[in-house]
Chains A and B, each alone.
Chain A
Amino acid sequence: MREPGNVKRVESLGENWRMDDEWWRQPIVRRYVEVVLEGGGRVVLFEDLITGEWFVQT
């Protein structure tokens, strides 16, 4: 996983889940993945399934 100035290897993938919400307004459709990084850190990434972009859940 690459963050500005900080590149880490993904050790393993945890649970993945999906969210569909606010379809009546500005639809939110996301696929989340829990990622275990080298060194034991955990982050949650999500893909916006409408635009195809990936984000880190903060």
Chain B
Amino acid sequence: MYTELHCHSAFSFLDGASLPEQLALTASQLGLSALALTDHNGLYGAMAFAQAAKQLGLQAITGAELTLLDGSHVTLLAETPEGYANLCRLITEAHLGREDRRDPRLDFASLEARHAGLIVMSGCREGLLPTVLQTHGRQAARRLAERCKAAFGPENFFVELQRNYVRGDLPLTRALIDLAADVGLSVVASGNVHYHKRERHRLHDVLVAIRHRTTLDGSHHVRRANSEFFLRPPQEVEMLFGDCLDAVANTNALAERCRSFDLTRDLGYRFPDFHGAARAPAPQALAEMCRARLEERYLAGSEHHVLAVRRLDEELRLIEHHGLSGFFLVYNDLFDLAREVGADVRRGSRRARGNLLPGRGRGSSVSSIVCYLLGLSHIDPIANGLFLGRFLNESLASVPDIDLDFPREIREELIRRVYKRYGDEHVGLVCSFPTYRLRSTVREIGKALDLPQGEIEQVAKLSDSRTDGLSDEIERLPGFAGRRNAPLWKELCELAEEIAGLPRHVSQHVGGMIISSRPLVEIVPLERAAMEDRVVCQWDKDSCDDARFIKIDFLALGMLSLVEECVELVAEREGAPPDLSRIDFKDPAVYDRICRGDTVGLFQIESRAQIQMLRRTRPRNLEDLAVEVAIVRPGPIVGGAVNPYVRRREDQRRAREAGRPYKPPLDHPLLESALAETLGVILYQDQVLQVCQALAGFTAGQAEALRRAMSRRRSRELMAGFWEEFRDGAAARGVPPATAERVFTQVIAFSEFGFPKSHAAAFGLLAYQSAWLRHYHPAEYYCALFNNQPMGFYSLDALGRDAKRNGVEIRLPDVNESDVWCTVDLTPFPPLLAGEGGRNAVRVGLGFVRDWSEETATAVVLERERNGRYRSIGDFVRRAPPNLKRTAIEHLVWVGGCDGFGLTRRELLWQVGLWLPPENGRGSGGDARVRRQLELSLDHPYEGLRFGDLVPAERMLAEYGVLGFAPSGHPLSLLRASLPAGVVQSDALPKLEHGVRVEVAGLVVARQRPETAKGFVFVLLDDVAGMVNVIVRPDVYDRYRATIRGEPLLWIAGKLAKDDGTVNVIAEEAQGLKVGTRNAERGTNSESDSSAFPLPHSAFAFLKSMRRVAPDSKDWG
């Protein structure tokens, strides 16, 4: 028999074409009893591999192939737990000890110093010994072999032999056999596996081409010579090594030795102790702390006191039962640390007095009273009736997640302090492995296949983002019909399916952090993240979960940063910050705006779909808002919960108005306790567990298993596996099979994304606070919104127009008025036209101007503060920092940033050109200015030349080109007279009859093709008056796909659909916006077109230029 000891998976990143699970399954099918995974410089896939192998009864050997400083390879296998710890340390050293984080290499001396418990093999053709043998000859190889023998011991160092039917394998392995015999070392056979089956060699070739940034043709010399690097049946290997069978026998002997370490069993991870652990045992310390705080939060005799005491007793019992008291106390320590960080970050600011929490809980932990009492959650679980079982239950199989949101600034500092408190070796961020998505797949494989770049771009841009079914996608694309069977395109389609699900690179998980009592660096390798000063561990959240690590989730939430800034700005204007924990949470004015769907820019309730839902369900309190946050999610949508909920809510309202009681229909009476509050449908994740317990009698253990399944990758398959238990349980309770099936369909819908109620409640509260801030402090709110991008559903362009509709003017940057970032502008401003704004204004910061950096903007502002306002364009050019290039200054001029100097923008541009010659090459602009410093203060003979100003169309194009948004107005306002005659503006639509044919036109704000929408596409258009929601049926989408996916300005003709307060246009025709014949050729007072933003001579020309500078829409699906 034979054991494969050298095997790469896709976690060798572009040098392996199969997932660890595929390799484990194939090994098992081939009858191997053990398999080693030895990816390059990492254990990224080791845990997934070990878990998959365990399920199959296959021994998983943990190892890696490390790159040494000279580029040669060495294969290491963990024989013992100590060997595994050393392997982790060595891999970490290879990554952290290098300047280039993408080129990990290990000093051989480090391996010599730290090899206990490791089996060292001499590597592949590029391995330690073969490299020396081939480049320096036999004597040098012999010396190295003797050095290895002395360093590692003959029982731990093996000469690796590989035969993959590559020319030269035979003489090389024979030379290695001789060498081993001379030195007294043993040999071991290995397959250098790079894919689980022969057919995958094509994908492997492509990955190699991608790695070398070239085509298949161009990568001939670096690709493998043949398709022989697959997982081979043991009998074939025995034949291959018929002349040295001891090399085969040794594979089994080594596998046997490696049984002393099992990754799924021997990690030795321990969570750190809590502060004060020496004084009292954890359960006692936690109970004392919580009970004391409970008496403060729930006064004796108050409404919820008895329930709170009961709930706390129950939680403390469960926590002690699972040995988690210390875990909660460490979280308490961390939150204390967060409080310190929050105070430090806010020190000196006005918002320090705003009673702001350092962070907030999210997710299922918000349902816990212990979390509430420790400050880890800000939502009262008793008052809100939050179900605990999703977070804590009797049969908990893994440590529960406590997720915390922080403003970005506080999170950054908190992460640094956690490293400081627990030590660098004990802390690591969880990584993630983004997989290939359609665009990257098409671009990268297309390039490797040398397909025409233009066509590849077209496919990447116009296809929907699903890698499976690319063949069908291509068939539907205009101009590509028939290609799917054409040479190269056929290969592209096939390879796209094979690559789907393979990891593309290592990234950082959004907030997960691992803290370990034992040095983490001995449990999982660490490496540098793309962000400076960040270290990630080599496992993603699933592997960390399998390792039973305790993952701490510190998430950065842009809306919390926005709230911080907004509160600060309000305090600046009013003297005191608002206390957001004490605002009126039942304010009708705030809810009225929410019910109207006036929620652009608010937290969680701003999307196109959510606005429609708000208009239909009309929330009037925080509980309703929690529903809004939860309902427009794939779980409730796929489960068919949305429309029944909306209908029943309307029925309930009518019943209430008529003074009648309302009882929502239920699939079965047993579901009443679980679903009554959501009118008989499943809206929250917790209800999935409650339903299974109520209808099918699931035990706590079954519910826990279901809970875990719900949060894993491939959750649908895992959840579907519960069907038989559910069906039998329901039958035992007398539930008809059809009912059980119907309810189970809703249950497995939650394999798609859904929220627990606790999370929805926490986010609903923040949604309300954002609405309240925007209602009462609009200028501060929009200012903070601009400064905290990117976030949410809309572009700055759409947000700016929404601000204007809500009475806040967005003012262009000004060299004498603007700060680095946006500010609330309190200076007087000419009155706006009716309906075009109010007393509030936001001044765009200099940092928003193209080619300006935060550094240059800061320098310009500081100079102004130190030495007074800029008096002229010459004065500005003279005093501006040298690294502010001429083009950056011109950009500011183009968008009116120097209008205050009293010249037209053309005159200003002319003068900039006089003072600063054109930039030729890097840095020349700055140098030129330094050389011309003396000239700047003198009058220039041509300074006085006069030019006319820019026309509105030119200004708008400049704004889009320089800022990416247009504060001065909407492009359609300049095309009014030239638009197709039938176009109706968005504000006129509500007055029209349902079903009439309409034409609309606008700038595309968002395009969505949700997986849950059965091929329907939703397009949000923005016209001068507001937004238009367009629904595109699949057949219409197929006809106009290129237009709908690619055009920035659209004209749509279709039927008006009005329902429950929502207004949609059901598209029948779509075109890129074209101006009508009337006035289309009319000029726009042009004077010159020799500028960076050419003057549009006509509506046609303007539209053409607009297509080039229009802001990108936000596209999903």
Contact = CB atoms under 8 A, between A and B. Distances in A.
Interface of A: 14-21, 23-25, 31-32
Nearest to A25: B487
> Binding site of B, secondary structure by majority: helix, strand, loop or mixed?
loop
B167 A17 contact: yes
B169 A15 contact: yes
Rank and list the top 10 A-B pairs by shortest CB-CB distance, nearest first: A15-B170, A18-B165, A17-B167, A20-B227, A18-B226, A20-B226, A17-B165, A24-B491, A19-B226, A23-B202
A15 B201 CA distance: 22
A44 to B, nearest CB: 9
Interface residues of B, number: 20
A49 B227 CA distance: 13
Given A17-B225, A20-B227, 20 more contacts: A15-B167, A15-B168, A15-B169, A15-B171, A17-B165, A17-B167, A17-B168, A18-B165, A18-B225, A19-B226, A20-B201, A20-B226, A21-B225, A23-B202, A24-B449, A24-B487, A24-B491, A25-B487, A31-B165, A32-B167
Interface string B435-450: 0000000000000010
Given A23-B202, A24-B491, A25-B487, A16 B165 contact: yes
A24 B165 contact: no
A24 B216 contact: yes
Contacts of A20: 201, 225-227
A19 B227 CA distance: 8
Nearest to B198: A20
Nearest to A30: B226
Interface string B211-253: 0000010001000011110000000000000000000000000
A18 B166 CA distance: 6
Contacts of A23: 202, 205, 491
Nearest to B171: A15
B488 interface: yes
A7 B205 CA distance: 40
A53 B864 CA distance: 83
Contacts of A32: 167
Contacts of B227: 18, 20
Interface string B161-175: 000011111110000
A52 to B, nearest CB: 18
A24 B170 CA distance: 29
A14 B226 CA distance: 19
29 contacts: A14-B170, A15-B168, A15-B169, A15-B170, A15-B171, A17-B165, A17-B166, A17-B167, A17-B169, A17-B225, A18-B165, A18-B225, A18-B226, A18-B227, A19-B225, A20-B201, A20-B225, A20-B226, A20-B227, A21-B225, A23-B202, A23-B205, A23-B491, A24-B202, A24-B449, A24-B487, A24-B491, A25-B487, A32-B167
B216 A18 contact: no
A35 to B, nearest CB: 14
Interface in B657-696: none
A8 to B, nearest CB: 23
Contacts of B228: 18
Interface in B145-187: 165-171
Contacts of B168: 15, 17
B923 to A, nearest CB: 44
A24 B225 contact: no
A33 to B, nearest CB: 11
Nearest to A17: B167
A31 B166 CA distance: 10
Nearest to A14: B170
Question: Most chain-B CB neighbours within 10 Å: which of A18, A20, A31, A32?
Answer: A20
A33 B225 CA distance: 15
Contacts of B487: 24-25
B449 to A, nearest CB: 6
Contacts of B220: 21
